[in-house]
Structure 1
């Protein structure tokens, strides 16, 4: 009984802090710029943690860490390293400054608005809005999946209750305080994630006699169905380096094209803050993502192929944690809640702002005033959260597999459709609208086909992970090739768009007497 009281007390304190922060940020959310971007005045620490916590959710900690740790052993840590270098460091270095400068210059608050202003195409904005709406909702629902087994193990509380409570509390602070409340809560949740993952790794390895003993035990594990090479699960690249590369690319490079990730660069205070934010975000990813995949790599010491076949990959991490103390289990639950709530808040804010600003405002209610826009976004947050809860509960309580498949495809479809158009749009004046539209259509069609006729794909592309990575890489080729084959964009418009990078700065110069001849 005392163990349960400790767990519940920690949860109550955690939720109380989240709600208090949301209510205290109400004054930042009185207009569209404040509600969606925090007035573009968010500092590097908050932005870096908002980026990192939106990146890593329960899907990573419970789902991906368990699944890829089981498949690749300790080599799964490369996915976390890739997340830190490709998904954080290079994303900030390549996209951060140019995104911040150009989006302010074009007065765009969402990715579809950017596409409209950059390519002078309202149709692109509507197409991007539709893709985001279709694929962010199931991605949002997937966040709840990692909570079911952990809450069942820790509290023996019904999954539906857990999902509804989490959704309601997240909705309250996002609706109340908008982006600023999300960013501050992300910072708090990020601290919990860092402390939690370090504590859990230490406890799990200690239960196996320490790191070297655990690594030695992993080297002795054999699974002929995966590989006949001795010690392969404790090796540098694991049993399937090609498959691991696909995981690294999709989970790392994918962030470059996800609207809820890129939007963090819109809101940062200044160009100078980007350099500091880049370092903070990279270190955060090394600890959290690297720690999650590293932990998952030892999953075969705690489970068996028979148990995994019966209960799925999502059972691996909870099985590893069952022997922890009540206090550490409570820490893990709050860790996963933090990861899920931070990502959930980012997704619903991106979804509601996109639908309001990019579709309703310009199509159904062209004269919508600013207060009405903010109210509409708040109402849509409720709608999006409700839909995601229903999807999560339907999937959990039935044998419907379509939803689960669509969740797996969401990341690949969004990143495949947007990464190349957004990247080339920031850097290359010759990028054409037609090339971006082709990329939109290609990635969306390929990923949807992966759901319905995946068996017809080549073996390496039947996995949604590999298909998504393929779409992202293909887009990087499609956009420049189609751009060179199609009519160049209007010179005057392109020069105006890129003028934000080419401003002339005039300074006073004083000559010294010694310079006179």
Structure 2
């Protein structure tokens, strides 16, 4: 009888999974004929409404990396105070990003006809070389992020279905490729909306169910207060600011401010319909982030109640990435099925955004300028080919890293976000508001963002040279790729204005910049006409 119940349990999980995957494919097929142009395929014809855009932003933001990797690792390190990361994601990564960047990004990118971030750098700063340089950065550093998404999902699938990691990764890549290659941005936007609703419902249900295993919220907090932190102290893991508020700030900066410079995130603003849509999208995306990110990190804060600590290292016995899957094991069958779909939803939406961003950058920014007479049909074929290529490369990397027990999901994501946002955040944001940004400042930001992340990775993560390096400074972890990424972003915000002030724009660049900034004047003129 016991075996019969186990079979029924597994069958219910498969039913939920198959229905979900079938729906994704149907949506991809439906939008195939509606994505006949490059503009439709990459940006949905710049006519996507506020709810779809807000959910696309949120679901691209939060994936299995957050739910499995970050929630587990930072919940273990900081306890319940890890919830501050979710709050930072909502206020800085969503609310402030939409308020500060949303409107100006939509106006300027539409005016200069930029479809990708590298194309923005070319047309904003009048430099094809910036487009090439930035497109290469996008392609290279989106791969480790994609690998981390596979990594997180496959660990949960192995727990729920007993399927080896490799097959989970390959299957997920195939399904993502099908609906993205078929339907482009419109298919991903509708899928993101459906996936977002699943994530909202799922995370609330999971939080209540998991806390219920230890007697509810109050009892769980009391139990966390009795657990020792890394320094052997009690009463810190259930406190407001936790055992290590200094390094917690680094996590908040990387995961919140980072979205301002990630191409797959800011390109959502390119596609939004109008100013009214931005106002609605701001509210919706912020509420989404509060529930999903806040819920994930809050849930992860109770990880030490579900997994034993290795007395030698102080780490969880099965590794950081096993914490959240371990918390899910005792959930009811249907709820576990919802969790699988929740994490799959989060991961596939992020993956679709990543592969679309990477393939469009390669095609539009690297291939098309070097191929004569490339029409739209050929451009779309090349773009779809690169989607498949990008997925194959990231699958190989994901399998390699999964076989290395030292690989941690949060490390892969930190390297990706640190390099991309460290390179792009400052020149992108300043470029929307300030005419005085110079090409030299943009190049400097690119070099510093990639350089800081790469050097740190070689010295601390890969440990090349076996140097005896300091591991902390005044309580701040120097070995943390999180802190390295956060530093790269903040450094860019300082170095771009400094270099811009000590270098000069050429007369033709000044003239070009003035023409670009006419976009805001023309937008105001259009509004005045509409009002009249």
> TM-score surpassing 0.5?
yes
> Matches of 1:237 and 1:164 in 2, distance apart?
40
Distance 1:457 1:435, change over 3 A: farther
Shift of 1:228: 4.1
3-state DSSP class of the match of 1:311?
Answer: coil
In the alignment, is the contact (CA less than 8 A) between 2:144 and 2:415 conserved in 1?
no
Q: Match for 2:19 among 6, 10, 13?
A: 13
In the alignment, is the contact (CA less than 8 A) between 1:405 and 1:451 conserved in 2?
no
Alignment partner of 1:469 is 2:486: yes
> Matches of 2:329 and 2:223 in 1, distance apart?
19
Shift of 1:43: 0.4
Q: Match for 2:513 among 494, 498, 511?
A: 494
Moved more, 421-430 or 385-394: 385-394
In the alignment, is the contact (CA less than 8 A) between 1:353 and 1:377 conserved in 2?
yes
In the alignment, is the contact (CA less than 8 A) between 2:65 and 2:409 conserved in 1?
no
Equivalent residue number for residue 296 of structure 1: 300
Shift of 1:400: 8.1
Describe how 1:195-210 pairs up with structure 2 within 5 A.
Answer: 195-210=201-216
> Matches of 1:495 and 1:253 in 2, distance apart?
28
Alignment partner of 1:63 is 2:82: no
> Matches of 1:358 and 1:409 in 2, distance apart?
23
Equivalent residue number for residue 282 of structure 1: 286
Equivalent residue number for residue 377 of structure 1: 383
Describe how 1:72-221 pairs up with structure 2 within 5 A.
Answer: 72-221=78-227
> Matches of 1:28 and 1:469 in 2, distance apart?
40
Shift of 1:350: 0.2
TM-score, normalised on structure 2?
Answer: 0.92
Alignment partner of 1:325 is 2:332: yes
Shift of 1:406: 5.2
Structure 2 unpaired stretches of 5+? 1-6, 461-466
Count of matched residue positions in the alignment of Structure 1 and Structure 2: 507
Distance 1:144 1:509, change over 3 A: closer
TM-score, normalised on structure 1?
Answer: 0.95
In the alignment, is the contact (CA less than 8 A) between 2:307 and 2:316 conserved in 1?
no
Alignment partner of 1:435 is 2:441: yes
Equivalent residue number for residue 513 of structure 1: none
Shift of 1:488: 2.8
In the alignment, is the contact (CA less than 8 A) between 1:41 and 1:269 conserved in 2?
yes
Shift of 1:385: 0.8
Shift of 1:508: 11
Shift of 1:399: 6.0
Equivalent residue number for residue 483 of structure 1: 500
3-state DSSP class of the match of 1:51?
Answer: helix
> Matches of 2:377 and 2:201 in 1, distance apart?
40
Equivalent residue number for residue 337 of structure 1: 344
Distance 1:206 1:430, change over 3 A: same
Equivalent residue number for residue 315 of structure 1: 322
Equivalent residue number for residue 514 of structure 1: none
Distance 1:508 1:152, change over 3 A: closer
Shift of 1:58: 0.4
> Matches of 1:258 and 1:400 in 2, distance apart?
26
> Matches of 2:331 and 2:471 in 1, distance apart?
43
Task: Please list the CA deviations of residues 477-508 of structure 1 after superposition, one character each: whole Å capped at 9, or x if unmatched.
Answer: 10000000000353321110000111363669
3-state DSSP class of the match of 2:517?
Answer: helix
Equivalent residue number for residue 38 of structure 2: 32
Distance 1:204 1:499, change over 3 A: same
> Matches of 1:491 and 1:393 in 2, distance apart?
48
Shift of 1:165: 1.3
Q: Match for 1:259 among 260, 263, 281?
A: 263
Structure 1 unpaired stretches of 5+? 511-517
> Matches of 2:111 and 2:246 in 1, distance apart?
41
3-state DSSP class of the match of 1:487?
Answer: coil
Equivalent residue number for residue 271 of structure 1: 275
> Matches of 2:155 and 2:481 in 1, distance apart?
24
